[in-house]
Amino acid sequence: MKQYDIDTIYHLVALMSATGEQNPQLAWKLNMGSLHNILEIAREQELTRLFWPSSIGVFGPSTPRTETPQETILLPTTIYGVTKVAGELLCNYYFHKYGVDVRSIRFPGIISSETPPGGGTTDYAVEIFYEALKRKRYTCFLDKDTVLPFLYMPDCIKATIDLMKTPLSQIKRHDGYNVTGTSFSPEELASEIMKHIPEFRWNYRPDFRQKIADSWPMSIDDSQSRQEWGWKPDYDLPSMTQDMLERLSRRFAEGKL
């Protein structure tokens, strides 16, 4: 930090929701330990700005599931969610106690064409693209009508950078801002992919991740982010699907996947 004169950190480390349930002790240690370390560094070094991602994992079965408000019940049933609620509180504390300018977004499921996801409940929405292109078949680990909120990576990056660029005087929250792109079910995503790959077939074999998905919101009210720092997504389900398939097809053709 001192040697390179670092003024901003994006601290993205975490064990995700599904992997967290396999090893809750490690999830707590890693997610909270690393955040605490970074907050301490930010305090000691008087860092200009720190970003830490929160998640829809902060919500639980008693949270309203549609248009989930910014301020609502936060009683998650996964250890991942517990670390995200505790993390939000710790960030807020460091801001008020020490003036650490930490900012955070409650990310929904993230879909990227570049990096395969690992250990999340929303991972199906990336796996399905690879399998549709490779084998024209996919077995989904969530049930067909499980609606969850998602964000395409270009929107995710835009949201993060826009939030970080906003003057401190406009930032009212240092816990986690609600942000969403578009909500859909596995059946809706698969049908959208089939418009591009007509031979694509899929079925469902829900596993332990179904319970996690059922405890999360179906849609998110992100109006505070829209008002305070101008959040607005560029992609919806059709444009995200088309872009994912174009990018992944190119990499397949080049032998890079």
Residues that bind ligand SER (CB under 6 A): 16-17, 55-57, 80, 107, 109, 120-122
Strands 137-140 and 177-178, sheet pairing: unpaired
29 CB-near residues (< 8 Å, 6+ apart)? none
In angstroms, the CA 32 to CA 68 distance is: 25
Choose the catalytic residue: 4, 10, 80, 138. 80
- Indicate the residue among 79 and 245 with the shorter CB distance to ligand SER: 79
Could you tell me the two tokens for 251?
Answer: 């990499």
CB of 253 to ligand SER, least distance (A): 28
Could you tell me the two tokens for 25?
Answer: 């002790």
Residue 216 phi, psi dihedral angles, 5° rounding: -105, 160
- Indicate the residue among 9 and 151 with the shorter CB distance to ligand SER: 151
**Does residue 93 carry a catalytic annotation?**
no
Q: 15: burial class by Cβ within 10 Å (0-12, 13-18, 19+)? A: buried
CB of 73 to ligand SER, least distance (A): 18
In angstroms, the CA 238 to CA 2 distance is: 46
**Looking at beta carbons, which residue is closest to ligand SER?**
120
Going from the C-alpha of 251 to that of each of 111, 118, 200, 254, the distances in angstroms are 16, 20, 19, 5
- Indicate the residue among 20 and 95 with the shorter CB distance to ligand SER: 20
CB of 77 to ligand SER, least distance (A): 13
In angstroms, the CA 42 to CA 99 distance is: 10
Residue 51 phi, psi dihedral angles, 5° rounding: -115, 135
CB of 168 to ligand SER, least distance (A): 26
The 8-class DSSP code of residue 118 comes to: -
Strands 54-55 and 8-10, sheet pairing: unpaired
Could you tell me the two tokens for 142?
Answer: 């969530």
- Indicate the residue among 14 and 102 with the shorter CB distance to ligand SER: 14
- Indicate the residue among 9 and 105 with the shorter CB distance to ligand SER: 105
Helices (H) then strands (E): counts for the chain: 9, 11
- Indicate the residue among 47 and 90 with the shorter CB distance to ligand SER: 90
Residues classed as catalytic: 80
